[in-house]
């Protein structure tokens, strides 16, 4: 799902979830895809995906890191 850059909200078909996030994608100068950064609002572990979430184990095996920024957005 995508929307025009700068959009305040992106609707997703079939989803009633009230959380939102920003996905940052990057490419190095030599064309290598950089790791994605997903930005979630919040300062507690409640803002992070639950370890019970589908795919969480696979994500941690792939070296995904779930870290709180602890700043206001």
- Per-10-residue mean pLDDT of the chain, 73 residues long, equals 73 62 89 86 83 92 84 66
Determine the pLDDT at residue 35: 87
Determine the pLDDT at residue 16: 61
Q: How far apart are CA 6 and CA 44, in angstroms?
A: 26
Three-state SS across the chain? CCCCCCCCCCCCCCCCCCCCEEEECCECCCCCECCCEEEECCCCHHHCCCCCCCCHHHHHHCCCCCCCCCCCC
Determine the pLDDT at residue 48: 86
pTM above 0.75, yes or no: no
Determine the pLDDT at residue 18: 61
């Amino acid at each position: 799902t995508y929307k025009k850059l700068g959009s305040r909200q992106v609707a997703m078909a079939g989803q009633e979830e009230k959380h939102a996030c920003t996905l940052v994608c990057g490419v190095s100068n030599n064309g290598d895809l950089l790791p994605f950064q997903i930005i979630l609002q919040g300062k507690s572990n409640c803002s992070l995906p639950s370890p019970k979430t589908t795919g969480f184990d696979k994500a941690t095996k792939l070296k995904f890191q779930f870290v709180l920024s602890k700043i206001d957005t």
